Amino acid sequence: MNSKHVIDLPKKIVIGDDVIGDIPEILKELNLWGRAYVLTGPNVKKLVGEKVADILQGEEAEIEVGVVRTPMISEIEGLVDPIRKFKPRAIIAVGGGKVIDAAKYISRVTGSPFISVPTAASHDGVASPFASVRGTGRVTSVKASPPIAIVADIRVIASAPRRLLLAGAGDLIGKFTAVLDWRLAHKLKGEYYGDYAASLALLSAKHVINFSEVIARGGSEAVRIVMEGLTSASVAMCIAGSTRPASGSEHLFSHALDKVANYPALHGEQVAVGTIMMAYLHGKNWKKIRSIVKRLGLPSTAKELGVRDEDIIEALTIAHTIRPERYTILGESGLTREAAEELARVTGVIG
């Protein structure tokens, strides 16, 4: 058995108001100053991307700006050659999930380190070494590079729609069942289980529960709480060397729903609904989880997710096939249609 375990962590994490102004200093500190490639999204480019580019140019860095419009692998791979030719000391990813995931993937392929500058706190991909890209033939994430640094500007993130912040909280709630699934796989399948990484992921979920009323209100304090939780969950994945501490049966359900209903809601919203149902299967206090999901203002039913009852049932029956190598409470043969329907009905997800 190979006992080698490599932990690759960000070297610097900066969270606070107006910290995007610190990016030149951070680049210098990490010995990455000189030439930077700013990767951003079409909407974020006008709001924040151009500001970051201006800050770098003002400090006389040589820069190029690229735009990611979709999370499709074909588009992301189209950026690889231009970035290779430019030879940046660092890639600065300014945007939401698709921009940061694209930067992770490109960083791994080109070898250029990247700095994660999230503009929304919608999921735990801000620092994880895994990227969600579409068009690869699989709906789950692929191995990529973690950021060398994270610069989370509270003022910028607080200006994003509140729904994105709540989705980030929903993604964090999912760590409860993810860790239970990981323990189960360890117990029944002898899979590696890391107590420290699991504890860190659970801590981020408990953080959301303890501050659910603050998060529900939104604003700067809520952003800081969710952002710290998302960073913590990302670091847990870096420590574990897999998505195990942060992604279990609740994520398999979300990925299955994406397949069945073509990405109907935000990832964290779907994960929150999945967590309610998977907590029931684990014999845990699913009613408490559902009450917190509702308190946060997240969807807790099929109707609120914008899907049919039938979509929920179908997603539950195929969820175990999304990552057959990943053992969860869904088992190897999954749920029958009858069991799936009863689960969704008992937990109030369907009427």
List pLDDT tens digits, range 144-187. 888 999 999 999 999 999 999 999 999 999 999 999 999 999 99
Q: For residues 135 and 281, state if they share a domain.
A: no
Q: Give the mean model confidence (pLDDT) for residues 42-54.
A: 93
How many separate domains does the chain show?
2
Task: Tell me: do 293 and 152 sit in the same domain.
Answer: no
Task: Note the pLDDT tens digit of each residue in 93-129.
Answer: 999 989 999 999 999 999 999 999 999 999 888 888 7
DSSP letters, 89-158, are SEEEEEESHHHHHHHHHHHHHH---EEEEES---SGGGS-SEE--BSSS-SS-EE-PPPSEEEEEHHHHH
CA dist., res. 66 & res. 180, Å (int): 40
Q: How confident is the model at residue 3 (pLDDT cuts 50, 70, 90)?
A: low
**Do residues 87 and 37 make contact, with C-beta atoms less than 8 angstroms apart?**
no
| Matching residue, tokens 């588009």 | 75
Q: For residue range 304-330, what is the model confidence (pLDDT) as tens digits?
A: 999 999 999 999 999 999 999 999 999
Nearest C-alpha neighbor of 76 from the set 46, 41, 52: 41
Question: d(Cα 319, Cα 342) in Å, to the nearest integer?
Answer: 16
Are 115 and 167 in the same domain?
no
Q: What 3-state DSSP class applies to 186? A: helix
Are residues 153 and 41 part of one domain? Answer: yes
CATH number at residue 130: 3.40.50.1970
Examine residue 37 and state whether it is found in any structural domain, yes or no.
Answer: yes
The predicted-structure confidence for 275-295, as pLDDT tens digits, reads as follows 999 999 999 999 999 999 999
Q: Is 179 in the same domain as 324?
A: yes
User: Domain with 339 in it: what CATH number?
Assistant: 1.20.1090.10
In this predicted model, which residue has the larger pLDDT, 119 or 137?
A: 119
- Taking only the tens place, the pLDDT of each residue in 219-274 is 999 999 999 999 999 999 989 989 999 999 999 999 999 999 999 999 999 999 99
Residues 125 and 169 in one domain: no
d(CA 284, CA 307): 26
More confident residue, 135 or 31: 31
The answer on 127 and 179 residing in a single domain is no
Average pLDDT, the chain: 94
Residue ranges of alpha helices (H) inside the chain are: 23-29, 42-44, 50-58, 73-78, 80-86, 97-110, 154-158, 162-173, 175-189, 195-210, 212-217, 220-240, 249-261, 267-281, 286-296, 302-305, 309-318, 337-346
CB 168 within 8 A of CB 295: no
Same domain, 185 and 300: yes
C-alpha–C-alpha distance, residues 46 and 38, integer Å:
13
Q: pTM for the full model?
A: 0.91
344-140-326 Cα angle (round to 5): 70
Predicted local confidence at residue 139, as pLDDT: 63
From 122, 140, 160, the end of a domain falls on 160
Residue 2: inside a domain, yes or no?
no
* One domain, residues 36 and 138: yes
Last residue of a domain, one of 136, 160, 184: 160
Q: Write b or e for each residue in 307-339: b if 16 or more Cβ atoms lie within 10 A of its Cβ, otherwise e.
A: bebebbbbbbbbbbebbeebbbbbeeebbeeee
Take residue 22 and report the two structure tokens written for it.
């610190």
pLDDT at 136 over 90: no
Top pLDDT among 130 and 80 is at: 80
pLDDT for res 220: 94
Give the integer Cα–Cα distance in Å for 83 and 106.
Answer: 9
* Same domain as 123, residue 63: yes
Question: Distances in Å between the alpha carbon of 272 and those of 83, 232, 260?
Answer: 37, 18, 18
Range of the domain at 232: 163-346
Torsions phi, psi for 150 (to 5 deg):
-125, 130
**Are residues 239 and 342 both part of a single domain?**
yes
Question: Do residues 79 and 102 lie in contact, with contact meaning Cβ atoms separated by under 8 Å?
Answer: yes
Tell whether 1 is covered by a domain: no
Same domain for 52 and 25: yes
Q: How confident is the model at residue 140 (pLDDT cuts 50, 70, 90)?
A: low
